[in-house]
Structures are given as C-alpha cells and as structure tokens.
C-alpha cells in the first residue's frame, strides 16, 4: 500500500497502473520528495538550482523537459506550494489511420485513472498495462498501450487493465493568452528602433568640442559628448548638382549623453549612409533626404537615474528616407526598411532578439530631449518580424537557448506609441498581427496604456482588447504585482502570476 497526498492508501497494483498511464512525477513541479506537496525547503532548493549553486539532480522534479530550472518552473513550484499538487491523470496517446482515406491523424485521450486490483505477496516482477480505445479522425479506431515494469512488487502473473474512452482534442491558443504573453517581447523588441534613431541623430548633430583629424580623406570631425566619450563624422561629396551624392560615416565611442528622467544614453558603433542622387545633398551643413544605411555592431545602453535599463544591439541595413525635418535634431520623421537583427536585453540578460526581413517602419510624432534622444514617438510596422526570447543569466542554465518558444509575426499597420517622459515608461500597441505560432490573425487595441518599469519585461499596469478569428474576443489586464488577468468575452477571468509563464508562451501545434 502507498500513502497518497491526501492521506489515503492505494493498492500497489493500482499504483502500477497510474505509473503506466501517466507518470505523476511530471504532474507536480517542485515536489522533490515525491510526497505530493511542495515545501518551503523544496522551493529554496529550486532557487539554488536556478542560480547554479546546486545541481539539477538534487531535485529533478523542478526541471523542465530540457532538464533546466528556469523562472517558469520556479513559478509553477510556488503555485503548487500555495495551492497543492494537481491530481494525477492518465494520458494515453494513440495514432489512428483513416479507412479508405489517405490521411493519418494523431490524438491524445486523457481520463482519470480507473481502479485495478492486485493480489499476492510482493515478490517477483510484474507488468501493468493500460489500454485506451480512441475514435480517430476522420474515421477508424486505434488502441494505445502504455506499460510499466516494477521489480519485487507483486507476482508476475498479476496484470491490471483499464479501458478509458475519450475523444481527440486539439490544443488552441485563445486570443487573450496569445497576445497577453507576447506583449512584453514585442514591446521590448520593437522599441529598440528608438535606440537606432537616437544613435544616428546623436552622432549627426553632436555639437560638442570639434577637432579635425588631419591626413585622412575626407576629414574626420571628432566631437566630445556632453557627459563623456566622443562621436565622429566624415562626409564625402560625390558628383555635382542633381547627380550629387554624399557618403556619411557616423561613429560613437562610449558616447554618453543625458537620457530621459535623469538617466543616460551610451552609444558605441558605426553607421554608414549613402544618399540617393537628389538635388539636396550637402556635407556642410549635413543634409540629405534619402539613401541606404548600414549599421555595424551598434550598441546603445539606456539607463534611468538608478542605473537600470535596457541594452540594444543592432546589425541592420536597408533604406532610409527623412520625411520631415527638425531644426535642431535633423530628423522630424522618417521611414526605414529593416533587414538584419536587433536585440534588447535587461541587466539580468533576459530580453528578445527580433529578425527583420525587409520590414517597413515609419517613425513620427517625435519629441526629443535637449541631446536629441527620442522621448515620445510613434512607430508603425508592416511586414515580417520573428521574435526569439532570450533567457536570463546565468548562461550555464540556458546554454544559449531561448527562454520560451520563438514566434513569427506579420504586422499590418501595427502602431506602437511610447512615452519615456513618464515614470514608468508607457506603451500603446494597436493593429493587426498574423502569426502561425499563435494560430492565426489578431487585432489588438490598447484600452489603457501599458506601464513598463525599468528593468522589467512585463507591464505592471494597462489594459488590452484582443479580437481573434471568428470574432472571438478577450480582455487582458496587467496588474501592479506583475500578474496578468485574461477574461474571454462571456467567460470567467483567469489569473497568471506573470506574463512570462509557460501557459502564455505556447505555440499552436504544427
């Protein structure tokens, strides 16, 4: 007999059946002792494993399918400690082949474990078999058999058999969960475009002390940044009149300037712009309307007054067109085509990398700081942009793998507004998103601006409405404790402890 988490006794033969149908060790994350509950000591052990001070082998119950202990696993463990371990269920997977139709379907049947009997003295070796009959799609039947073998338990002649019946189901991502868990990554990734524009404008307009480096054609001007570091400029005029073009090379070397709300921005890297042959192209004063740009190893560190913030790294190229002029900061509004990668990471190493494939973005309604760092702006996206989440440090726990599954996105007139003059920064996102990972097309509307504190990915305030396929709707509310509440239209609200939990990061099965 074996004692359950509720204090009851289960016959050993029944326990064999449960093991055969669905391993209970996967049912309760954090139950290191296997006693059906998660204690404070076990939570502390899980944290030590996540920090790398204790091996995963000390508590395999905390590990995910990749044998790693991450934030999502720790959150599951805390929930199990607060709410108790979930009841074990039996799961059988069956593959059925349609009769007369050239198609094969796979379905999963889940049902509570039924009883099984066993007699005899605990000796020898026994096998327990669970058989499930599942009706396939479109036609046909199939049987799934799961077998477990135990040593020194019951006589080898004893077999326990159960036959549950269930219908095949398909996992889908509801619209609220699909968008509610992705807002953090989309906001962090797309907002990084601001750093690219800031780097261009800061290097092009920096009017600090100027020194001309002689002997290099063309002359290179070096300007001291307002706090520390320097920017460099070189500009070459080619051709004349309507055919005249210019090549501008902008550089930054640990250039630190004031940022929003008492913070700073630091720029490193280089940007090359080759203008189109238009009639207005000058090096002095620097003036061009459109051209091709190339960003190489650009790094921008944006920090608040507490030295907390985001690091943006970009390797991008494409076309740029200035569609409006600013008297002091060169760019009033602009259009960009994006090719390459851009990553935004927090101090703990977590963040997201975005890949662009000729993705179009316009930046309008720009309000700058005195040092030409964009504070308020609107970005409009059209095109493809796959996102790859990045796991938090230490890297030994992740081996460079993403924290959660990557997800592909196609934007259609998707508008992102950001205001960095508020504390915390506020973000609004509205428009159409199409994603194979998320199972289709969604329309997103911000009902209340989302507030994102420095050093965080998840919003701690804000409300979003999401409309999915079939006009299914849901409301997503971000709470001050970093939890997320998703309420489907006409349904009951579901609360998640974080926007980064596994339940909000799953893709629709292919």
Following CA atoms 97, 99, 100, 105 in sequence, which dihedral angle do they give, to the nearest 10 degrees?
-30
pLDDT of residue 377: 94
Say how far apart CA 192 and CA 305 lie, in whole Å: 19
CB 442 within 8 A of CB 179: yes
Question: Which helix (H) or strand (E) segment is 194 a member of?
Answer: helix 193-205
- Among the listed residues 492, 413, 405, 457, the one whose alpha carbon sits nearest the alpha carbon of residue 178: 405
Q: Give the pLDDT score at 40.
A: 82
| pLDDT tens digits, one per residue of 158-186 | 333 333 333 333 345 677 888 888 888 99
- Answering whether pTM is above 0.75, one says no
CA distances, 133 to each of 19, 193, 337 (Å): 19, 54, 54
Q: Which residue has the tokens 């199939």?
A: 142
Percent of the chain exceeding pLDDT 70 equals: 72
Separation of alpha carbons 425 and 455, rounded Å: 11
Cα dihedral 377/382/383/384 (nearest 10): 40
Query: What is the per-residue pLDDT for 219?
Result: 61
Whole-angstrom distance, CA of residue 450 vs CA of residue 445: 11
Nearest to 463 by CA among 432, 437, 430: 430
Please report the beta strands in 185-259, taking only residues with DSSP state E, as ranges in sequence order.
210-213, 220-224, 228-238, 245-258
CA 137 to chain centre: 34
Query: Phi, psi (5° rounding) for residue 107?
Result: -135, 160
Q: Could you state, in order of their start, the residue ranges of all structural domains in the chain?
A: 176-504
CB atoms near residue 415 (< 10 Å): 17
Helix (H), strand (E) at residue 19: helix 12-21
Measured between alpha carbons, how far is 197 from 331 in angstroms, rounded to an integer?
9
Q: Which pLDDT band holds residue 479 (cuts at 50, 70, 90)?
A: very high
CA-closest candidate to residue 342, choices 306, 386, 290, 302: 386
pLDDT in tens, 33-49: 888 888 888 888 888 88
pLDDT at residue 510 greater than cutoff 70: no
Alpha helices by DSSP H, listed for 148-192, are: 175-180, 183-191
């Amino acid at each position: 007999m074996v004692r359950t988490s509720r204090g009851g006794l289960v016959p050993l033969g029944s326990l064999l059946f449960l093991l055969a149908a669905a391993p209970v060790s996967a049912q309760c994350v954090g139950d290191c002792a296997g006693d059906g509950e998660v204690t404070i000591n076990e939570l502390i052990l899980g944290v030590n494993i996540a920090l790398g001070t204790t091996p995963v082998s000390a508590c395999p119950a905390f590990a995910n399918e990749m044998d790693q202990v991450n934030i999502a696993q720790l959150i599951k463990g805390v929930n199990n400690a607060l709410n108790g371990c979930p009841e074990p269920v039996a799961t059988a997977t069956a593959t059925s082949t349609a009769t007369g139709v050239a198609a094969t379907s796979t379905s999963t049947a889940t049902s509570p474990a039924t009883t099984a009997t066993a007699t005899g003295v605990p000796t020898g070796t026994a096998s327990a078999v669970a058989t499930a009959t599942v009706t396939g799609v479109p036609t046909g039947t199939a049987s799934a058999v799961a077998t477990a073998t135990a040593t020194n338990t019951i006589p080898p002649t004893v077999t326990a058999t159960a036959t549950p019946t269930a219908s095949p189901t398909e996992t889908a991502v509801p619209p609220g969960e699909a968008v509610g868990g992705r807002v953090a990554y989309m906001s962090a990734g797309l907002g990084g475009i601001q750093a690219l524009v800031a780097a261009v404008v800061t290097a092009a307009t920096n009017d600090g002390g100027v020194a001309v480096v002689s002997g290099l054609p063309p002359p290179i001007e070096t300007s001291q940044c307002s706090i520390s570091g320097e920017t460099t400029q070189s500009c070459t005029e080619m051709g004349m009149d309507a055919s005249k073009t210019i090549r501008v090379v902008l550089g930054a070397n640990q250039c630190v300037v004031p940022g929003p709300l008492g913070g700073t921005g630091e720029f490193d890297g280089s940007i090359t712009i080759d203008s189109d042959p238009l009639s207005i192209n000058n090096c002095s004063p620097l003036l061009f309307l459109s051209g091709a740009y190339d960003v190489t190893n650009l790094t921008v560190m944006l920090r608040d007054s507490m030295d907390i913030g985001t690091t943006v790294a970009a390797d991008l190229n494409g076309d740029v067109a200035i569609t409006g002029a600013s008297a002091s900061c060169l760019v009033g509004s602009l259009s960009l085509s994006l090719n390459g990668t851009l990553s935004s990471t927090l101090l703990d190493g977590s963040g997201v990398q975005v890949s662009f494939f000729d993705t179009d973005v316009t930046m309008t309604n720009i309000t700058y700081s005195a040092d030409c760092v964009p504070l308020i702006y609107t970005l409009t996206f059209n095109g493809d942009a796959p996102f790859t989440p990045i796991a938090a440090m230490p890297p030994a726990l992740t081996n460079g793998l993403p924290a959660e599954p990557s997800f592909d996105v196609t934007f259609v007139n998707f508008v992102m507004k950001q205001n960095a003059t508020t504390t915390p920064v506020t973000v609004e996102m509205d428009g159409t998103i199409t994603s194979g990972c998320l199972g289709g097309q969604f329309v997103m509307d911000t009902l209340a601006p989302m507030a994102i504190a420095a050093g965080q990915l998840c919003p701690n305030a804000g409300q979003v409405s999401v409309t999915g396929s079939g006009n299914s709707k849901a409301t997503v509310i971000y709470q001050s404790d970093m939890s997320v509440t998703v309420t489907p239209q006409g349904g009951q609200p579901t609360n998640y402890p974080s926007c980064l939990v596994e339940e909000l990061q799953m893709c629709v099965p292919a």
